[in-house]
Structure 1
Amino acid sequence: MRNIIVNNGNIDLSFFENFDGVEDKLSFKLIGIKDNLEYLEDIPYRKFEDLAMVPICMVRNAEIGEGHITIKDSHLDLWGITCDRLWENLIENAAKISRIKMVSMSDFLGEEYINDSEVLQNIIIVSNKEQNYGAGAILYPGVLEKISDKYGKNLYVLPASVHEVLVLPERGDENEAEMLESIVRQVNAGVLSREEFLSDKIYYYEKSAGNLAVCE
């Protein structure tokens, strides 16, 4: 998914001049705040724990395929709207235009690689259909509730990259959270590029409260 420059002459961006033409194309991507402070300076993002929900406008074009325009503060001035107005229906709209994709780890890897491990069998990979900047799909309405209902348990959410997260039910093992966070840190340090890095934190979804937060 490309980040499109607004003045690209090959793409008709006349719709971008008014908010009415943009509103139904709005989505968001999830990135870490700490490593992107300069990038975020002029973006009307929303904070979720240590992450930034960055508003984007999806653009589909026959020549370039699919891309997005990052929404800046200057765009809000152009459209004459507030940040609150921008985000009013944005998350619900994101779920419609960048639909969620959920697949079990066993289906993703194939049964022969799972070795009957209950932990691996219960891991769900959450992204969007494009599998590009899909980590934010975990914040779509009802997603975590649906997964926790499936297992009847609280959940851990592991940030695999900006493109996807891993969700697994709480087992109740001693030092479970510490073990999972250690795995995330090892993967981040050894495999991910800085551009794909999301967070070293893990997150905990409490089923009874319907609340997702950094696991302390």
Structure 2
Amino acid sequence: MDFNQFVDEVKGGIKQFLPIEYEDAQVRIEEIKKLNENYLGITVLKENQVIAPTFNLNQLYEMYQSNPEVSMESIMKNITGVMLDSPKQFDLKNITEYENAKDKLFIRVSSAERNQEILQKVPHQIKEDLAITYHLAISVDDIGRGSTTITNDMLTHYGISEKQLHADAMKNSPKIMPLYVDAMKNIIAQIIVGEDKPVMQDKDLKDMKEVISEGLKEGEPMFVITNQQTMDGASAIFYPEVMKQLGECFQGDFFILPSSIHETIVLPDKGDFDYLSLKSMVQEININQVLKEEQLTSDVYHYDAKQRVFERADKFEKRQKVIQMNKNEKVGREQKMEHPKPKKHDMEL
């Protein structure tokens, strides 16, 4: 069965798995453009229903093709189960009224270059070549997360500024998607023993110093920054005070590698690593190990702990060269300004 046949079968058969009240429901198949990915989605709307979950048909087809245990019937039952359960979890006021919505705000980070079209329609902040966008968590559980993206129209409806939106999202993100930090070797060990996703323990910002201190003592230079759900966890590096705390843990500057949209890797800048070699490593990993829709960027970033500046590593290096050049010029000027002392001459009387 090819993808088009799969789509037709889901569209034509989904109502057979739904209660009688869905008999006259509208089944929509449309292209969905989201951050980092486009896909064909299916939505089933009853009469007078304003909002309903949209299912990624490309993802469902991939599951159907790759796993012999996944049948068309199981896919249909999965879709209808979520559809019938979502009204119980969802209250429209959680989206339309800002006082209810603001406590459900969280941030995501993505490539600004690859998401230019989407970014024109949504409030966002640019951090170098990364874009921070704002989202509402409709539901968060062990299986996944239902969410919606804040658009410019929604911001206008709320009657608030982007500054207020950003402040509320930054405040609530660590509560909705709590920070998780672990040594890289622990993550790798969990993958080797067969865990598809590392099990995130209940660690938050207050545990960061302990995790990094233990890792450094054991000779581990790399640490993973994500959230406990390990989903869109690259944004956790931008949580309030996280970079400042990391600078304190490393007792100085550090590099930030964009592993994927789900996590970043940090390592101290002690002169052991050249940013070009780190960038080459990120590029290679993106090509060979990270799905295109999950790639963040191929750049390497740097945090100046003294100046509290987040920037691309190449910009940091250029800035340091300028600073050093200015110092050299200053020293040179000071040396020129020192007039030689007059020599003493012997005088005979």
TM, length-normalised to structure 1: 0.87
Give 3-state SS (helix, strand or coil) of 1:136's partner.
helix
Confirm or deny that 1:184 pairs with 2:282.
yes
CA shift, 1:39, in A, is 1.7
Q: Is the 8 A contact 1:55 1:71 kept in 2?
A: yes
CA distance in 1, matches of 2:140, 2:313: 41
Matched, 1:72 2:72: no
Distance of aligned partners of 1:23 and 1:157 in 2 relative to their CA distance in 1, 3 Å threshold:
same
Cα contact 2:234–2:258 (8 A) shared by 1: yes
User: Any residues of structure 2 matched to 1:67-216 within 5 Å, and which?
Assistant: 67-110=146-189, 121-173=220-272, 176-216=274-314
Identity, % of aligned pairs?
A: 25
Q: In structure 1, list runs of 5 or more residues that go unmatched.
A: none
Q: Which residue of 1 aligns with 2:113?
A: 34
Task: Indicate yes or no: 2:122 matched with 1:43.
Answer: yes
Q: Quote the Cα distance in structure 2 between the aligned partners of 1:38 and 1:93.
A: 27
RMSD value, Cα: 2.6
What is the CA-CA distance between 1:211 and the residue it aligns to?
Answer: 1.4
- State the distance in 2 between where 1:65 and 1:143 align: 24
- Does the 8 A contact of 1:105 with 1:120 survive in 2? no
- The residue type paired with residue 146 of structure 1 is Q
Q: Deviations over 1:23-79 (max 9, x none)?
A: 0110110000111111222000111110110100011178x8522111101111222
Deviates more, 1:142-151 or 1:153-162: 142-151
Which residue identity is paired with 2:245?
A: K
Q: Is the 8 A contact 1:44 1:83 kept in 2?
A: yes
Task: Say if 1:119 and 1:107 are closer, same or farther in 2 by CA, change over 3 A.
Answer: same
| Number of equivalences | 208
Greater mean deviation of Cα atoms: 37-46 or 23-32: 37-46
In the alignment, structure 2 segments of 5+ residues that lack a partner are: 1-33, 35-40, 44-49, 53-82, 193-215, 315-349
Does residue 13 (structure 1) correspond to residue 111 (structure 2)? The answer is no
Shift of 1:142: 1.7
Structure 2 CA distance for aligned equivalents of residues 185 and 37 of structure 1: 21
Q: 1:26, 1:57 within 8 Å by CA — same for their partners in 2?
A: yes
CA distance in 1, matches of 2:246, 2:152: 35
- After the TM superposition, which of the residue ranges 17-26 and 183-192 deviates more from structure 2? 183-192
* Contact 1:133–1:164 (8 Å) recurs in 2: yes
Q: Is contact 1:29-1:56 (8 Å) kept?
A: yes
Give the C-alpha shift of residue 104 in structure 1: 0.5
TM-score normalised according to structure 2 size: 0.55
Aligned partner of residue 294 in structure 2, secondary structure: coil
Q: Deviations over 1:173-204 (max 9, x none)?
A: 3x711110110011112222221010111101
Runs of 4+ in 1 over 4 A off after TM superposition: 3-6, 117-120
Q: 1:188 to 1:77 in 2, by over 3 A?
A: same
For 1:44 and 1:67, locate their aligned partners in 2 and report how far apart those are by CA, in whole Å.
20
CA shift in 2, pair 1:105/1:82, >3 Å: same
